Every structure is written in C-alpha cells, then in structure tokens.
Chains A and B, each alone.
Chain A
Amino acid sequence: MWKGARAGTVVMVTALIPIVLGCSKEADPDRAPGSQETDSPTIYTVNYPLRYFAERMAPAGVRVVFPVSEGMDPAFWKPSAGAVRAYQAASLILLNGAGYARWTRYSTLPQARMVVTADGCRDGYLRTEQSVRHQHGPEGAHAHAELAFTTWLDLRLAACQASRIRDALIERVPNAKDSISAGFESLERDLLDLDERLQIVGNALGDQPLLGSHPVYPYLANAYGLSIQSLHLEPDQELSDDDWKTIDAILKQDRAKWMLWEAPPLEATEAGLLERGVTPIVFDPAGQTPSKGDFLSVMQANADRLECAAGVKLCP
C-alpha cells in the first residue's frame, strides 16, 4: 500500500511539471517546399534568348537552365509537375513578359524569385492582328495570345530585357557586379549593333509590304518600320488551296515581294511563292535553342538576309 502511495506521488509530480513549464510545440525550422537552395545559384529561363542573355552575363558558378527540349515551341510548352518543381527550386526565374509561356499562368511559381524581363521596358505590349486556333508540332492545338510576345525581335527591347537580367544577377551575386556589368556592356553593344543594321534595312525597305508566315514579327515590324502582314503558315507543312487563295488575295491588295519565314519552307512552298513573285526570307525568331550557332549568330544571319533583300548589302 505504501509503495502505491509513493508511486502516486511520483506520477503526480511528473504530471504537474509540464503544466508548470507549459507545453510548447513548434515546427522544426527547416527547409520548406520549393525553397531548396543549392550551393550555386541556378537560373531558369522560359525561352532561349533569355538563356543566352543570362549566360553572357552570369558569373562563374551560376548555372543557367532552359529545360524545353528541342522541337518544342517554348511559348506553348506544357511542363510536367516535375519540371515546374525544378523552376520552383531555382534561385532566379526569368520570364519574358507579354504573356509568353502560357504555362506560367497556371503554374505555381515563387513570385519573389521571378523577374518579368520585358515588363516596364515599353509603354505597352503590341497585339497580334488576329487569334486563330491551329495545330503544329507535338504540343498540340493552340491559339496565339492576343499579345504579341516575341519582344526580343526589337533589339532595343532585347537590350532592356538584358538590363533587367543584369540587375537581378547583381542583386543575387553582388560580389560579381563588375563581371556582370562587363558582360552586359558587351551584350548590349552586340544587340545595338544589330539594331542599327535593322534600322538601316527598315529605312531602305520603306513602305514596301512584306508577308510574315506567322504572327511572330510585330515587334520587328514596329521597331524597324516594316509593313508586315501575318498569316498562319508552318514552314514544315504543305500549304493548302485555301492558304494559297489567302496569299493570292493578299498579294492582289499589297504587292509584297518578300515573305518572312521562321525556318526554310518546303521546296513546293518556295516554288509556289517564287511563281507569284514572292521571295521567301528566313528570319528565325530564335525562341528555341538553335541547332547551329547562338542567338547572336542567328540574328546576324537574319540581318544578313534582310540586308541582302533590301539591297543594303551585296548578296553572297
């Protein structure tokens, strides 16, 4: 009985200790979902031009990732949950702006680590002429956004986007400010040189109408005073009778001598166009990683072809 009484006292005292001290429960301060900081900063981009800009400025040890595989249009890419998680884990996420990469609208991304590079670079975004639903490539049917989104085809706007990337990089890696600034200055020089060349092309072409195979050239047209009427044609697809009828109807109104294509069109398409007095010119927007060269070399080749067409430079 005495043993029982002693045990009771022990239980009672043990029981009272937590009451006196108070029961506090707190979650362990640990890493949270989506905040995995790696040793070296990682930058994720939504298109190739942003990746190129970031790579030109990024100090050593900073990894720049553009995860959209070749053949996919990054503007209409649909990432898996795993791919979104990879973006969430990045130290910096570079978005283009103007509604580019539709997936970012319905994905959960950390706002604090996102930089919309084109926001604020101009008063407002340009709009596409029309929005028609169509299908090409493995990403399925889609309609182009109301806003034109290939902002980097205005090379001054591209330089502004690059400056936003510079600022974001300096904010995150302040001790590499000098190398980041030097990288930006070199990139800005290259972009403004191209801009100058395209300004000369625009002046030379004047009001001469051009056709655009896809509504991806509004910023090019706006920046360099080009008159481009857009269609919805794919370079790797044969044109239908309706497509030719549309082209003929447009040519009746505007006697266009050139048509811009994102990639070389099929031989039959090229022949049909030449028959109608229209010369196809490849102007690759370079939204996706090029198979050869880089953003700058692709843009220089684009400028070369336009200069040749406009008679600014002798054709090779």
Chain B
Amino acid sequence: MKDSLYLAWRYLRHHRAKTLLLVLSLSVFLGLPLVMRAMSRATQQSLLARAEATPLLLGKKGSSLDLVVEALYFQLKGAEPITEADVDAIHATGLALGIPIRTGLMARGFPLVGTSLDYFPFRRLRIAEGRGLAMIGDCILGAEAAKTLELGPGDTLLTSPSTLFDLAGVYPLKLQVVGVLEPTYGPDDKAVFVDVKTAWVAEGLGHGHQDLALAGPDVVLKRNEGTVTANAKLVQYNEITESNVDSFHFHGDPSGYPVSAAIVVPHDEKAGVLLRGRFVDAPTRQLVRPSQVVDSLNKQIFRFERVLQIVVWTVGLATAVMFVLVMVLSWRLRAEELRTMTRLGCSRWKAAQIMGSEIALMVGASVLIAGLFGIVMAQYGETWLQNLILRGS
C-alpha cells in the first residue's frame, strides 16, 4: 500500500499541471456548499443573537427592517427619527428602560452612535483602555475602530461633515477619545460612541460660543435690554473642553430633539406585553421585536441559500463528470504505461491500487483545501456577508 501511494505521489508530482487543475476543480466543488452553509449559519446566528438580545425597539412607523438595521447594526439607512420625548415617555411608564440611539453621522468612516450610559451595561461592553463617557465631547471607540484609526485615550477624533460642499453647514466637532472597548466581534467594535447630547452638538442642534456679554463691538450686531445679537464673527467652538463646556447649550426644548430609535428594556415580561399593547394602534410610532424582524430576514436568506445550493450542486455534478472523464481518458492514455508495469511483474490489483491512490490523494488534497477555505470564510466571511446583506437590503 505504501509503495502504491509512493508511486501515485510521484506520478501526480510529475504531472503537476493536470493534478493542480483537478484538485482545484474538486476543491471548488467540495468547498462551495461547505462555505455557503458555514457563512449562512454564522451570519444568521450572529444577526439573531444581537436581535434576541434586544427585547424591543421603538421607532417611527415605517420599515421595521430599516429601523432594526439602523439601531442594531448602525448601518445608515436613514429611518425617520423619533424624539427624546419618546424615550422619556418610556421611562415615565415605569415599565421599561429606554436607551436612545442616534445614528447618522460618521467619524473617519466609522458610525457615530449617540446613546446613554445605560447602553454599555445593556450590551455588556467593557472598557479595555481608558474610562467611560463623563462629559459631552467625550467618545469611546469600538475595538476595531480604535485599531484601524490607531487611536487611544488622549487622542482626538473629528466627526465627518454631513455634507462636503455645504459651507454654511455644521462644522466637524473634535471629540476627545477617553476610552476603547474590549472586542465583542459585532457592530459595536466598529462604532464611535458618544453621549446623545454630543451627537446633537455634532449635528448642530447645540453649540458653544464666546460669551456675548463680554464680546466686543465688532462681534455684537445689536444690544437691546436683555438681548444681544451677534454677527457672523462670533467664535463658535469646534471642540468641547473643560474650559468651554459650560458655554455649550441647546436652543429650544431638547425633548424635541431627534433620536433614531430607542432600545426598550422592559422590567419584566408583563411590562413588555403591556408596552407592546400600548403601541399596537399608535399612529406614528412602532414598537417592534427585533428578533421577529431578523427572523423574517433570515428566512429570506435561507430561501436564497436553497436556490444557490441547487446551482452549486448542478455545477458540482458537472465537475464530477469532468473529473471522471479526465481520469478515464488519462487511463486510456496510460495504457502503454500499464502494460509496461504488468511486464515488469506488477499485478492488475497493484496497478488498480496505484490508480486508486492517485484519486485518493487528489480528493484528500481537495477536501483539505476546501476545509481550510471554509475556516477562513467562517472566520472573516461572516462580517463580509453581513455587510453585503445589510447594505444591499
């Protein structure tokens, strides 16, 4: 047996090109269904795990998938916002904890997520380096964001302008990086977390500027009793520091400020049922169970996977037929070689063993390549496919 394997190995080495072609064809045939299955299961599990960990989600009435995608995965889908008053109303019911989520802005390619302090224990996020949020202007980086941007506590990070060519728009806000989160292998790793008030400042809803009472005449346009009107020379701060934090303020009632969604964490099951009942006929709001939304998304993925499987098996069958054909033709071409082996005293059984060993080695190599490819895809393909699905939906 050992001799047969040796001869088969030498033969395959001698005909490298043919062997490589056959091994690769077989690898694709064996690997594709394996990879597809692994990736699909991993993605479904990952999507479902985050959704199941989020009991309820409050948002504006509309596409529930958009709402879930925006609030859970921080993908910019532009769902209509609700207001901070909605989050306060959830608290006021005494039935649940409301955690605001404000998305929409980016910071050097990573989503800026405005939320409350309650988000971190809720998602079981731990600080790896630095400290948690304390003041407006502070930000905490997800593990991957910190690694990619090469930033850590003490560094600063600029928010990206919402519109590049809008000169009159909101200027970027310089955020103080105060902490980095431990990796969670989920969307939190790629996010930049700030207090929801910081997100509003970054959006231009709140601002800080030099003291008008102390401003010179070149800055003041009009000074009436109790009212000072400044001109465009008024210095507005683009960074929140300990010395100017006191000057930051919001015009109007912050309870009317936008929040993309609110994670609703009922105190118990009964509270959850009561809350859901209250939103059944709500005209402008929806309270969804993310697990149901993601489950329906998963069913779509599963259907798509089945169609793909049929295609893959068809291609696989063609590959198998081609493999058999190549082997049969190869044996015909090697008829003279086999006759020589018989003349040298090799039995027919031994010749069959050598041929069988060749097939076994090629199939073995193909399984190994397909297995390794499967591991790589299971490791990194999940995020890739998740992004592909979420961005494409």
**A and B are partners in one complex rather than unrelated chains:** yes
* A interface with B by C-beta (< 8 Å): 1-2, 5, 8-9, 11-12, 15-16, 18-19, 22-35, 78, 81, 84-85, 88, 102, 105-112, 130-133, 141-143
Residues of B within 8 A of A12 (CB): 364, 367-368, 371
Is A19 in contact with B375, judged by CB distance below 8 angstroms? Answer: yes
Question: Which residue from chain A places its CB closest to the CB of B211 in the assembled complex?
Answer: A133
Is A8 in contact with B364, judged by CB distance below 8 angstroms? Answer: yes
Known: A9-B364, A22-B45. A108 touches B184 (CB 8 A): no
Is B371 in contact with A32, judged by CB distance below 8 angstroms? Answer: no
Residues of B within 8 A of A35 (CB): 120-121
Is A19 in contact with B197, judged by CB distance below 8 angstroms? Answer: no
Q: List 20 A-B contacts (CB under 8 A).
A: A15-B375, A19-B371, A22-B41, A22-B42, A23-B379, A27-B123, A27-B185, A32-B123, A33-B121, A33-B132, A78-B242, A85-B131, A105-B197, A106-B197, A106-B248, A108-B134, A111-B91, A111-B116, A111-B117, A133-B213
Residues of B within 8 A of A27 (CB): 123-126, 182-186
Known: A32-B125, A33-B125, A112-B97. A24 touches B45 (CB 8 A): yes
Residues of B within 8 A of A26 (CB): 49, 184-185
Query: Once the chains are docked, how many angstroms separate the CA of A150 from the CA of B126?
Result: 39
Is A8 in contact with B368, judged by CB distance below 8 angstroms? Answer: yes
Known: A9-B364, A12-B367, A25-B185. A85 touches B126 (CB 8 A): no
Is B138 in contact with A19, judged by CB distance below 8 angstroms? Answer: no
Query: Once the chains are docked, how many angstroms separate the CA of A133 from the CA of B195?
Result: 28
Query: Once the chains are docked, how many angstroms separate the CA of A81 from the CA of B365?
Result: 59
Chain B 272-307, CB within 8 Å of chain A: the 1/0 string?
000000000000000000000000000000000000
Instruction: Name the one of A29, A31, A108 contacting B133, with C-beta atoms under 8 angstroms.
Output: A108
Is there a chain A Cβ closer than 8 Å to B337's Cβ?
Answer: no
Query: Once the chains are docked, how many angstroms separate the CA of A143 from the CA of B247?
Result: 11
Is B134 in contact with A15, judged by CB distance below 8 angstroms? Answer: no
Q: Which residue among A29, A30, A81, A109 has the maximum number of chain B CB atoms within 10 Å of its CB?
A: A81
Is B118 in contact with A111, judged by CB distance below 8 angstroms? Answer: yes
Instruction: Name the one of B34, B38, B117, B365 contacting A88, with C-beta atoms under 8 angstroms.
Output: B117
Closest 5 CB pairs of A and B: A33-B132, A32-B121, A35-B121, A15-B371, A84-B134
Is B378 in contact with A106, judged by CB distance below 8 angstroms? Answer: no
